[in-house]
Structure formats: C-alpha cells, structure tokens
Structure 1
C-alpha cells in the first residue's frame, strides 16, 4: 500500500514522503478499512510542524479521519458485530466516548478500532 509519512518535525513540503508499506493485519477487535479518501486538516499540519499539544513518535503517518470500505476483521470483530460487514462503506473518526453510530449508507468507526490502509 502507499502511505504518507512524516520523517520528522518540520514543514510538510520538506518532511512528508510517500512510501510503500505492507498492508496491516487487523488486531483483536479491529476492522481493516481500505481507504478511498483521507482529508488533511490544519491540526495535522500543526502536528507535523511541532506546533500542537502533542508530538507522535517519528516517523509518523498523519491524519485521523478517512472514508473507505471494510476489507477484513481482526479476532473478536466480524460480520454482523456492530452492524459491520465486509464491503460496507465506513468512515473513521478520532476517538469519541462511544463505540459507533450508523446510518443506512455508512457506519462510523470511532477511536482506534480501525486499522486503515490506503490504495
């Protein structure tokens, strides 16, 4: 898969690169999402520049949100659990104090349940 990686703190144009990495395996209770779209927020840019309230260990993959489809389930997560099924359209949001919410067309996965991957 391809992913954008920040090598270190700095200006995005100087420290962001596109890398090919293996598709992750979903862990216990996680859902693997094939990412179709992922926004870049001002908060992402502040983190990369070192101007935010925390700094991830570098190299780091920026971003907290995405939209895509369910590609696989880890142990303890599976078809029917929380209304999720393979091929279902989903969004991934930053952590929130609930396990998920759904509508007729899309299910939101909150927090760290999503092990996302890009095309």
Structure 2
C-alpha cells in the first residue's frame, strides 16, 4: 500500500502507525518538493511453482493446502490493515478540532470504515 504525505513529519507519523500495526518492512521511499511517499509492506508471501505449460506440477492435495495457507495469510494481512486504518483514524481524530470540523470527522470515519470493509 502506498500513502502520500505532504511533509516528512506526517510521513514519519504514518510510518510509525504502519509499524505499530504490524507492517515491519514499511518505509519512506520517495521524497520530492510536492510529497513524501510511504510504502506499507507486510512480510507474508508464498513463492512456489505449481504449474508449467498449463500442467499442474504438484498434487491436488498440496495445491489445496497451499491455497488454504494463502487464505490464512490474507486474513492476517486484512486484520493488520484494519488495525492500520483504526490507528490512522485515531491520528486524524487527534489532529482535528472536533467541534469545528464535525462533518469532516464523520466523512473521514465513513471513508475509512467503508474502505476497510471493501478489501
């Protein structure tokens, strides 16, 4: 996931949230005069060859176990993404004057909630 920030201070805040949410391999990878880009990366991956020339090279049982393992990893990533959204929401909430920005606060909450449910 890539998140653009307006300055290096906000980028570090996002990076800290990402790492606290379990994305330990995240970092800042682009800095220019317009933005700072934060890359949020997990460590889950599965690399294996299962087919070649449209022929399955592994047993069906192994393939199904591989899919099951991949789905479990996806669930774990999804949980961390939800934690990241919630932690980002807390950061936004703490930086918004709630009484003066009531509608903005609710807009951000709905946007974060909807995005986390659509993945």
- Bigger share in strand: 1
TM over 0.5: same fold? no
For the aligned pair, the TM-score class normalised by the smaller chain equals: under 0.3
Structure having greater relative contact order (Cα 8 Å, sep ≥ 6)? 1
After TM superposition, the score normalised by the length of structure 1 is: 0.24
After TM superposition, the score normalised by the length of structure 2 is: 0.24
Q: Which has the larger radius of gyration?
A: 2
